[in-house]
Amino acid sequence: MLLFSSTAIVKALVLATVTIGFSGILWKKNLLMKIIAMDVMSTGVVAFYVFIAARRGLIAPILSDRSGLDYGDPVPQAVILTAIVIGLSIQALMLVGAIKLAKDHPTLEVSEIEGRE
């Protein structure tokens, strides 16, 4: 007897990933930890989107001589690939900004960079 279905467990784990990433952005004081938390959160969002778009019984939308089959929609795949590339670009840009800040300040603690103690 199952208490929880596998889809409910996956949804809970994905939601936990997004929540952990978001809480890391809010509560971590180190700039690099905030960048890592943002990456964790975006990974959870992409995983949730993949979970929603995935369905059983669909085949790839390529040329085939078989008819009467349900094809998977290629648009969610394109959106996910675009989200991954944009997320990687944003993360690289934030890391370059962190390197610039590290050259100007001896620390990456947000409160010290902002000038408040």
User: Within a domain: residue 84?
Assistant: yes
| Domain, as residue range, for 20 | 6-57+72-113
Number of domains, the chain = 1
Tens of pLDDT, residue by residue over 9-61, are 888 999 999 999 999 999 999 999 999 999 999 999 999 888 887 777 677 77
48, part of any domain: yes
Q: Tell me, what CATH number does 22's domain have?
A: 1.10.287.3510
Would 64 be classed as within a structural domain? no
Angstrom distance (rounded) from CA 38 to CA 86: 13
Percent of the chain beyond pLDDT 70?
89
Q: Does residue 62 lie within any of the structural domains?
A: no
> What's the pTM?
0.78
